[in-house]
């Protein structure tokens, strides 16, 4: 099965359109993300990049167009959709750890309930993941007792526990205090090095330069540039990209 699907792109979007009322937030989006690639999506606020990220596991349904994940068309709803989501890890801006469960329970929940793993097994791999993101000592605490950076690392561990084929990051550091940003980016950088397919919506230019294979620049619901990080940062072609970079880099 892996042999069969390995030739297909991990994510493929064709002619995707999305409206919020009259607002056209995604305009004829087309792209492919090959297996193992780390894509960073940049763009000003309101450019549609978060919506695109959420559309890929159908947290936002699209109005037209087709999205494929690992060669399979995104199911409309029901069991098939749930099964697909289980294979797509998602990390949110606001962490969204389950407030009534301890950190280790957060990580174990989906492996137990969706993957039907045995409890000892799920617990062991949960602890390994927490170790890997550096918060094994916080495993019995509740989310509210952790710092933002720790919570986001726990959220990444929770997504990884499902052994996803691809990881989506929706502005994972935007809600963090500046001193906590790096610890989360470090985890993400390591993940990239290990070969994980990643789709990262962010404002962290450093991460884009360092860890990304590819940058997609979005503005007004369109993908305006799609190139390598070096090329994008040193030689932006569109006016909107130049404008965006000048504002970011003068900061």
Partner 1 sequence: MVDDLAFLFDKYNVVAAFWVTVQLAVLSAIGSLIWGTALAAMRVSPVPIMRGFAAVYINAVRNTPLTVILVGSSLGLWQTLGVTLAGERATEVNFRLAILGLVAYTSCFVCESLRSGINTVHVGQAEAARALGLNFGQVLGRIVLPQAFRSVIGPLASVLIALTKNTTIAAAISVAEAAALMKTMVENEAHLLFLVTVIFAFGFVFLTLPTGLILGWVSKKVAVKR
Residue from 24, 27, 28, 109 in contact with partner 1 (CB under 8 A) = 109
Of the residues 90, 122, 201, 215, which one makes contact with partner 1 according to CB under 8 A: 90
Nearer to partner 1, 115 or 237 (CB): 115
Of 149 and 229, CB closest to partner 1:
149
What is the closest distance, in whole angstroms, from the C-beta atom of residue 99 to partner 1 in the complex? 5
Residue window 22-61: x/- pattern of binding to partner 1, with contact defined by CB under 8 A: -----------------------------------x-x--
Rounded to a whole number of angstroms, the minimum distance from the CB of residue 138 to partner 1 is 15
Residue 87 lies near partner 1 (rule: CB under 8 A) = yes
Subset of 134-163 contacting partner 1 (CB under 8 A): 142, 144-145, 155, 158-159, 162
Query: Do 166 and 88 touch, CB atoms closer than 8 A?
Result: yes
Q: How many CA atoms lie within 13 A of 170 on its CB side?
A: 23
Question: Does 76 interact with partner 1 (rule: CB under 8 A)?
Answer: no
Nearest distance from C-beta of residue 164 to partner 1, angstroms: 10
The yes or no reply on residue 104 touching partner 1 (CB under 8 A) is no
User: How far apart are alpha carbons 30 and 14 in whole angstroms?
Assistant: 5
Q: Does 175 bind partner 1 (CB under 8 A)?
A: no
# residues near partner 1 by CB under 8 A? 30
Interacting residue ranges for partner 1, rule: CB under 8 A: 57, 59, 77, 79, 82-88, 90, 92, 94, 96-100, 109-110, 113-114, 142, 144-145, 155, 158-159, 162
């Amino acid at each position: 099965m892996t042999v069969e699907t390995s030739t297909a792109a991990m994510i493929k979007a064709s002619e995707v359109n999305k409206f919020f009322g009259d607002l056209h937030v995604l305009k004829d989006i087309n792209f492919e993300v090959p297996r193992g690639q780390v894509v960073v999506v940049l763009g000003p606020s309101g450019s549609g990049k978060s919506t695109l990220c959420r559309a890929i596991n159908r947290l936002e349904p699209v109005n037209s167009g087709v999205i494929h994940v690992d060669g399979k068309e995104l199911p409309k709803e029901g069991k098939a959709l749930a099964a697909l989501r289980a294979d797509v890890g998602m990390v949110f801006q606001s962490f969204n750890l389950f407030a009534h469960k301890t950190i280790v329970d957060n990580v174990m929940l989906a492996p137990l309930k969706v993957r039907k793993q045995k409890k000892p097994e799920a617990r062991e791999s949960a602890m390994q993941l927490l170790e890997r993101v550096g918060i094994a000592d916080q495993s019995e605490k509740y989310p509210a007792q952790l710092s933002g950076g720790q919570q986001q690392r726990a959220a990444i561990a929770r997504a990884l526990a499902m052994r996803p084929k691809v990881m989506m990051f929706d502005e994972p550091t935007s809600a963090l205090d500046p001193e906590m940003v790096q610890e989360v980016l470090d985890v993400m950088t390591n993940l990239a090095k290990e070969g994980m397919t990643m789709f990262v919506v962010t404002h962290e230019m450093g991460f884009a330069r360092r860890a990304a294979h590819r940058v997609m620049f979005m503005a007004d619901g369109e993908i305006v540039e799609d190139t390598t990080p070096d090329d994008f940062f040193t030689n932006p072609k569109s006016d909107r990209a130049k404008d965006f970079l000048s504002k970011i880099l003068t900061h």
